[in-house]
Amino acid sequence: MSDFATKLQAIMRDRANLIECANRCAQAYDGGKYYTPFDETEAETVAQNYAGMQAVVTGITLICSQGRMPLDQHGPYVLGLVASGTCDDWTRDTMLRIANATWGAGQPFRLDKGPLGRADRVNVFDLLDPVAMEKDWEQIQTAANFIVEKLCE
């Protein structure tokens, strides 16, 4: 088992980390214009803002597996590139696609518009507005920096 994967999973499974990272990602989205802090009682809001963290973790493991690179050796390197915004376009695109899929998977089931009231919010990544992609990238970088911070504790 990968030591790096074990550390990532521990960060992801900690409720306080989940809520803190989701808050940071929500604040990063759109420059925080509409950000209001939330806690675990607002599970739907936490889930909605969790896509960045899931994209980072899934993206790193995917990139390492596709390149047949050991996760323990290359995972921290890929994480650093994403956190700093110096990764290549393919890595950025992979992270954005995973974030879009993660976010989109929950959209139809949000209850604020009634049962399946948000089914029309699911998007094909290739049709996303570049502005929306940039907002998603901010959340991904925020999550990557959060994970780096937690790994250094």
- 130-151 and 3-13 are packed helices; what angle lies between their axes, rounded to 10 degrees? 110
H helical segments located in the chain: 3-13, 15-28, 43-48, 51-66, 71-84, 89-106, 130-151
> Which residues make Cβ contacts (< 8 Å) with residue 119, sequence separation at least 6?
107, 108
The pLDDT > 90 percentage for the chain reads 56
Distance of alpha carbon 122 from alpha carbon 145, whole angstroms: 27
pLDDT at 13 over 90: yes
Handedness of CA 23, 26, 27, 32 (dihedral sign): negative
pLDDT at 106 over 70: no
pLDDT at 148 over 80: yes
The pLDDT score that the predictor gives to residue 100 is 84
In tens, the pLDDT along 23-47 reads 999 999 878 888 999 999 988 788 8
Most confident of 67-71, 79-83, 120-124: 79-83
Domain layout of the chain by residue ranges: 3-151
Residue 81: pLDDT band with limits 50, 70, 90 = very high
The pLDDT score that the predictor gives to residue 104 is 67
